[in-house]
Amino acid sequence: MSTHATYEFKAEIKQLLEILVHSLYTDREIFLRELVSNASDALDKLRITAAEATDEAPLEIRIEADKDKKTLAISDNGIGMTEAELVENIGTIAHSGSAAFLKAMKEAGNSADGIIGRFGVGFYSVYMVAQSVRILTRSHREGATPVEWISEGQGAYSIRELSGEEAQAVGRGTRIEISLKDDLAEQFTEADTLRHIIRKHSNFLSFPIIVDGERVNTVPALWREPKFQITKEQYKEFYSFLTYDLDEPMDTLHVSVDAPVQFNALCFIPKKSKDFMGFDREDWGLDLYVRRVLIQRQNKDLIPQYLMFARGVVDTEDLPLNISRETLQDNRLIRKINTTLTKQILSQLAKMAEDKDAYATFWREHSRVFKAGYMDFANREAFAALLRFNSSSCEAADELVSLDEYISRAKPDQKQVYFAFGPSREALKLNPHLELFRKKGVEVLYLYEPIDEFVMDALHTYKEFTLTPAELAKPDDLAKLPDVEQAPEEAAAAPEKDSLEALLVRFKDILGDGVADVRATSRLTGSPCCLVNPDGHTTSSMDKIMRAMNH
């Protein structure tokens, strides 16, 4: 007993097919992602709903190409479909109103990727490459009759129940047979091309994907596995798969978050920083997966730019499979992942910082990028706590001090964290502005990079302390502190007030318009004089940067 019926596609499907036929060349390969994802879904559904009914055969996805016949087949031994399910699932647009769909199609122009998934019409992407498609499917239900569906994607499809020998040849699950368009047959029957596309989009699906009898997806989606089961070796392996770095990562962050948004993330901090400033400026971001299917490589909205040294993947269940790139860019969910992940990475770094040596390595490699975090106001406290500086209290040039350490040894009543900018430790040791600090034993942080001053300026305070440039310190704030260093002999005898006045007048005469004023000061102990900025709140180095930017 075999029934045969021909059905018309709904109007919106006809329009969709029209677009797909003319879709962008670069979009075409995603048909394979869609069909493989459907096969994987079907296997998942079988595993969940019919666990007892499964036979011994392993659950898998097979891809077979025939160059001569110009055909490609994708098979799964998953849940399958009855005739009613076929009509229901393939042939209508299930998830959204057709008005919204038509509007979106108009807007999409000839870029298919965006609409395909938004409306759950992934199956139809096959018509970007197919002349005609034949579906053979048998539901997992006891005694289900296998069904054949055929369409050239021109407006109609036919369905027929199979019987006898034909029926016996069809096992549980679904087989999609594609007759490829003539001009695409060569490309999409090439095993290497197929493997490449699968690795690119579907590498982490949990079921084996087999091309030419060989499994293609061999790296497990480690981010989805429970942490306690994963060995260090496995992390390292995954890390090198991801980054091509053969060294092990400096640190690993593996998180599973349920609220306010569901996601799994596996991030690594490499031991060596990349040249983000040069040619590889765009070479960063986290790979975004939706249920193990790659959506976008190097997505740059998942973490802020100052954490760009982090490499890894994020996988969420909360996004649709085929969300378009435009929609991703301003997506609430992605922003929430970003917020959560940023906090996680910062606290991971704080943990790393408990080991001074480990953190020094991190700092040496990644601080140049990290310092741009001074713009992240939402996390300023956590960010500031992770900053490190060389300082006047350090014995060596590579020793590092945190703001908390500085504060812990500040003088009683000291309410400022003092810093000075200079090209090197040697230069800063000779800086006359720091003489009084030495005399009073007040620590000064040494800033060697221009960005350091922007960081200090933007933060402005840290835990009740004002971040203050040493050269702008109020001498009175320091004067009241006791001396720790004996002033040099010759400086001990203060000059007569009258002769000092005469000297200042003479200075002003000679320097003329070159200076705004010449004043006596108590900030120097060894040097005879130093330059200060007349406005009293711009440091001389910042002044130089400003001038350079204006010219």
Binding site: what residues are annotated? 34, 38, 76, 81, 89, 96-97, 174, 325
With contacts defined by CB under 6 A, name the span among 32-40, 354-362, 363-371, 397-405 that binds ligand ADP: 32-40
Q: Which does 171 bind (CB under 5 to 8 A by kind): ligand ADP, Mg ion, none?
A: none
By beta-carbon proximity to ligand ADP, the closer residue of 105 and 267 is 105
With contacts defined by CB under 6 A, name the span among 35-43, 447-455, 495-503, 538-546 that binds ligand ADP: 35-43
Rounded CA separation 148/307 (Å): 52
Within 10 angstroms of residue 176's Cβ, the number of other Cβ atoms is 22
Rounded CA separation 241/261 (Å): 27
Rounded CA separation 196/198 (Å): 5
Q: Give residues 40-59 in contact with ligand ADP (rule: CB under 6 A).
A: 42
Q: Give exposure, 122-157, as e/b (b: 16+ Cβ within 10 Å).
A: bbbbbbbbbbebbbbbbbbeeebbbbbbbbebeeeb
Within 10 angstroms of residue 280's Cβ, the number of other Cβ atoms is 10
Instruction: Give yes or no for a contact between 234 and 226, defined as CB atoms under 8 angstroms apart.
Output: no
Question: At a CB cut-off of 8 Å and minimum separation 6, what does 88 contact?
Answer: 94
Smallest gap from Cβ 168 to ligand ADP, in A, equals: 20
Q: What distance separates the 2 farthest-apart alpha carbons in the chain?
A: 123
User: Could you give phi then psi for residue 265, rounded to 5 degrees?
Assistant: -135, 140
By beta-carbon proximity to ligand ADP, the closer residue of 117 and 373 is 117
237 is written with which tokens? 């392996």
Dihedral class, residue 343 (left if φ above 0, else alpha if ψ from -120 to 50, else beta): alpha
By beta-carbon proximity to ligand ADP, the closer residue of 39 and 403 is 39
By beta-carbon proximity to ligand ADP, the closer residue of 76 and 453 is 76
Smallest gap from Cβ 132 to ligand ADP, in A, equals: 17
Rounded CA separation 358/347 (Å): 15
Smallest gap from Cβ 122 to ligand ADP, in A, equals: 3
Exposure on the CB side of residue 109, measured as CA atoms within 13 A? 3
Instruction: Give yes or no for a contact between 349 and 292, defined as CB atoms under 8 angstroms apart.
Output: no
By beta-carbon proximity to ligand ADP, the closer residue of 147 and 345 is 147
By beta-carbon proximity to Mg ion, the closer residue of 124 and 418 is 124
Smallest gap from Cβ 186 to Mg ion, in A, equals: 26
Q: Which does 89 bind (CB under 5 to 8 A by kind): Mg ion, ligand ADP, none?
A: ligand ADP
Rounded CA separation 486/531 (Å): 24
User: Could you give phi then psi for residue 81, rounded to 5 degrees?
Assistant: -140, 145
| Of residues 17, 343, 331, 277, the one with CA closest to residue 157 | 17
153 binds ligand ADP (CB under 6 A): no
**# of chain residues touching ligand ADP (CB under 6 A):** 16
Torsion of CA 428, 429, 432, 438, to 10 degrees: 120
With contacts defined by CB under 6 A, name the span among 16-24, 114-122, 217-225, 343-351 that binds ligand ADP: 114-122
19 binds ligand ADP (CB under 6 A): no
C-alpha 199 chain-centroid distance: 20
63 binds ligand ADP (CB under 6 A): no
30 binds ligand ADP (CB under 6 A): no
Q: Give residues 184-243 in contact with ligand ADP (rule: CB under 6 A).
A: none
Smallest gap from Cβ 78 to ligand ADP, in A, equals: 5
**Binding characters for ligand ADP, 522-551, by CB under 6 A (x = yes):** ------------------------------
Smallest gap from Cβ 10 to Mg ion, in A, equals: 18
What letter represents residue 508's amino acid? Answer: K
Q: Which segments are annotated as binding site for ATP?
A: 34, 38, 76, 81, 89, 96-97, 174, 325
Dihedral class, residue 164 (left if φ above 0, else alpha if ψ from -120 to 50, else beta): left
443 binds ligand ADP (CB under 6 A): no
Smallest gap from Cβ 106 to ligand ADP, in A, equals: 20
Smallest gap from Cβ 33 to ligand ADP, in A, equals: 10
Q: Give residues 156-195 in contact with ligand ADP (rule: CB under 6 A).
A: 174
Instruction: Give yes or no for a contact between 422 and 447, defined as CB atoms under 8 angstroms apart.
Output: yes
With contacts defined by CB under 6 A, name the span among 73-81, 337-345, 411-419, 450-458 that binds ligand ADP: 73-81
By beta-carbon proximity to Mg ion, the closer residue of 122 and 285 is 122
Residue selected from 9, 101, 123, 157 as contacting ligand ADP according to rule CB under 6 A: 123
By beta-carbon proximity to ligand ADP, the closer residue of 49 and 466 is 49
Question: At a CB cut-off of 8 Å and minimum separation 6, what does 100 contact?
Answer: none
Q: Give residues 84-103 in contact with ligand ADP (rule: CB under 6 A).
A: 89-90
Smallest gap from Cβ 322 to Mg ion, in A, equals: 8
Instruction: Give yes or no for a contact between 7 and 87, defined as CB atoms under 8 angstroms apart.
Output: yes
Q: Which does 163 bind (CB under 5 to 8 A by kind): ligand ADP, Mg ion, none?
A: none
| Of residues 256, 257, 374, 249, the one with CA closest to residue 305 | 374
122 binds ligand ADP (CB under 6 A): yes
Instruction: Give yes or no for a contact between 245 and 253, defined as CB atoms under 8 angstroms apart.
Output: no
* Residues at the site binding Mg ion, with contacts judged by CB under 5 A: 38, 122
Smallest gap from Cβ 31 to ligand ADP, in A, equals: 10
Residue selected from 12, 16, 78, 314 as contacting ligand ADP according to rule CB under 6 A: 78
Instruction: Give yes or no for a contact between 374 and 459, defined as CB atoms under 8 angstroms apart.
Output: yes
Rounded CA separation 172/149 (Å): 16
81 binds ligand ADP (CB under 6 A): yes
332 is written with which tokens? 């609430």
Residue selected from 96, 120, 240, 276 as contacting ligand ADP according to rule CB under 6 A: 120
Contacting positions for ligand ADP (CB under 6 A): 34, 38-39, 42, 76, 78-81, 89-90, 120-123, 174
